[in-house]
Structure 1
Amino acid sequence: MTALHLANLPIDRQTESGRTRKAGLFLVASLGALLLAGCQSSSNVHDFDSDIDPATGSAANISSLTSVVDQNPSDASGYNVRGTAFGRSGRYQEALADFNKAIQLNPNFYQAYTNRALVERRLKQDPQALADYNTAIQLNPNYNEAYVGRGNLYRSEGQTELALADFSKAIALEPTDPKAYQNRALIYQSQGRHDDAIADLTAAMTYAPNAPEPYLSRGLSYLAIGDYKAALDDFNTVVRRDKNSYQGWTNQGLALEKLGERDLAFAAFAHASSLNPSYAPARDGMRRTAK
């Protein structure tokens, strides 16, 4: 991923002297770390383990899907569905076997290639994943999910322009897909293009209004451009929707700190630290805002 340009992050004029200047520099460094962490933590937005659900791999569910496969052993779609259940539950080897079988039965099954690529990425088999994404796109050039997946792979390898092209293509094919907007915004953030990131994240919210991730990311961009009130509003939304989001509480603390609400900022940092005692930005925030 492209390194963040911390020099472009705003520092208030009042930080130009003494202790206040030191605190401002700490805040800028913390914000840079949070932006980088945001990019990393959201890098698998489209992958199976972005929302692992062990229930999908429960004995009852797998038994039901296996019955469908047994009754129609030549139907590739049955293996694809069961493979998806295995993947969603984190059982990647079993998922891989099912997608292999689906592709063996139907070599033109572009959805199965894309699903197999997701599993291969989880198994750190990126070259195989890239080949499968390419095959899916070759079979169906209008399948936006394959462009989103391949864009994520390119982004993880630092091939930013290729990733941008894939996310933009996915958006052109499916303008209501929040994943493509979210992932493209992460690239814009890494490039310091925060206005573009905000536009994409706002679009992602339109099509996934209940997801907290776009608010978390957009709030970071608002922090970066110095719109601390807008940032606070976004982080407030994050912690309302996910009370255990230590990143949300930490970012709320950063916004409050920039707005001069040191006591409230300390409380937010302290809560974040209680949720994740090893999270350095929360501990650093507590030190800066302690009385």
Structure 2
Amino acid sequence: MKKLLIVFLLLMPFASQAEQVDCNDRANEIRMSDRLDEAIDVLSACLSEELSRVARTYLLLGLTYYDSGEQRNAIANYSKAIEFAPGYVTAYANRGLSYSMKGDYEEALADFDKAIELDPAYMQAYYFRAFAHQIDGNYRRAIEDFSTALTMTDETNEMASIYYSRGRANKELKRFADAYSDYGQAISLKPNEADYYYSRALLHHERKDNDEAIADYSRTIELNDQHARAFYNRGLLYRKAGTDFLAIRDFEAATDIEPSFARAHANRGYTYMIPVIPLLFILALG
């Protein structure tokens, strides 16, 4: 499973070690002056700051393990963060993401629901929950959460990613007009993202809008000249259009990039044979 490219991080403020010492010293001075209730309040605040600092360290460890693809270790560290800071919304959301990557959707959804309960305006929890629904095949619920997330951000990259992801969910539900619209929105916000063009090209290809598909495959290749699938699919369309020399060129590019790409090898060979087949038929008749 391809790792989700977006990981959102809400940094919790924490006191430096020097500030923590000053906090404790201040509380001790208050205690020595027999203002005990005030000392308790100050010490409670000191402890809260220290626990927040430790929780953030565990969160960062979790994110680092996530980046390394070690989801079990990521989950363990997010769980420690939650032990130290039970209301840590970001720890719940990111633990849910790691559960999603492991395929543990029930646990993932529970964490996303908890994050949203703690902070109903936390956009990333809706986005991550939509992702979990999407990879579990629950596309309608995914679209609902993607749509909610869109109302909570005006940041360009976030909006582009959400539109793109919602477009993929719409495509799975055969809502082609909505998928076209979402891919178009994503591309308008982030026009140099090869995957956006490739996904729209696949949609055009499936709908037999061949000229539009070729244009989007070509743009994909401009942005990522190592995209073997874009070369291969464009080659199929070139061959269908009767431009065999262009098709062969694309099949060769696909196999150069991905030497084990069996279908590209087979289609290159078949395309080379197309001009010969009628001649062989005539010779057989003779």
- Post-superposition shift, 1:284? 5.0
Aligned 1:101-180 pairs, distance under 5 A: 101-174=80-153, 176=156, 177-180=159-162
Of residues 165, 170, 176 in structure 2, which corresponds to 1:188?
170
The question of whether the paired residues in 2 share the 8 Å contact of 1:148 and 1:167 is answered with yes
- In structure 2, distance between residues paired with 1:281 and 1:82: 42
**1:259 is aligned to 2:241:** yes
Q: Mind listing any 5+ residue stretches in structure 1 that lack a counterpart?
A: 1-40, 49-67
Q: Counterpart of 2:39?
A: none
AA of the residue aligned to 1:159: N
Alignment partner, residue 75 of structure 2: 96
Give, in whole Å, the separation in 2 of the partners of 1:148 and 1:110: 14
User: Distance in 2 between the 1:174 and 1:129 partners?
Assistant: 23
Work out whether 1:238 is the aligned partner of 2:217: no
If the length of structure 1 is used for normalisation, what is the TM-score? 0.69
Change (3 A) 1:208 1:103: farther
Contact 1:160 1:187 in 2 (8 A): yes
**Paired AA for residue 192 in structure 2:** N
Q: Does 1:221 align with 2:203?
A: yes
Structure 2 counterpart of 1:141, which letter?
P
Partner residue in 1 for 2:252: 270
Q: Write the distance in 2 (CA, Å) between the matches of 1:277 and 1:191.
A: 34
Aligned to 1:12: none
Which of 50, 60, 66 is 1:87 aligned to?
Answer: 66
Code of the residue aligned with 1:130 in structure 2: it is L
Tell me if structure 1 keeps the 8 A contact 2:232–2:264: yes
Q: How does 1:4-43 map to 2 (within 5 A)?
A: none
Name the amino acid aligned to 2:89. Y
Q: Take 1:145 and 1:255, find their aligned partners in 2: how far apart are those partners?
A: 39
Deviation at 1:125, TM superposition (A): 2.2
Q: Distance in 2 between matches of 1:240 and 1:159?
A: 34
Residue 87 of structure 1 and its aligned partner are, at CA, apart by 1.1
SS of residue matched to 2:151: helix
Task: Call closer, same or farther: CA 1:164–1:257 in 2, change over 3 Å.
Answer: same
Give me the identity figure in percent: 29
Contact 1:47–1:118 (8 Å) recurs in 2: no
Higher relative contact order (CA 8 A, sep 6+): 1
Cα distance per residue 1:217-250 (max 9 Å; x no partner):
0111122333323222221222222222111211
Counterpart residue type for residue 113 of structure 1: Y
Is the contact between residue 273 and residue 283 of structure 1 (CA under 8 Å) also seen in structure 2?
A: yes
Name the stretch that deviates more: 228-237 or 131-140. 228-237
Secondary structure class of the residue paired with 1:173: coil
Partners of 2:204 and 2:147 in 1: CA distance: 23
Q: Does the CA-based 8 Å contact 2:201-2:213 persist in structure 1?
A: yes
- Aligned equivalents of 1:79 and 1:73: distance in 2? 13
Q: Distance in 1 between matches of 2:97 and 2:6?
A: 6
TM-score, normalising length from structure 2?
0.71
Distance 2:237 2:230 in 1: 11
Q: Does the 8 Å contact 1:46/1:149 carry over to 2?
A: no
**CA distance in structure 2 between the aligned counterparts of 1:201 and 1:113, rounded to whole angstroms:** 30
| Alpha-carbon shift at residue 179 of structure 1 (Å) | 2.0
Unaligned residue ranges in structure 2 (runs of 5+): 8-15, 21-48, 274-286
Q: Could you tell me how far apart the structure 1 residues matched to 2:88 and 2:113 are?
A: 13
Aligned positions, number: 230
Give the distance between the partners of 2:266 and 2:4, measured in 1 at CA: 28
Q: 2:186 maps to which residue?
A: 204
Instruction: Give the 3-state SS of the residue equivalent to 2:91 in structure 1.
Output: helix
* Paired position in structure 1 for 2:35: none
Q: Which amino acid aligns with 1:114?
A: A
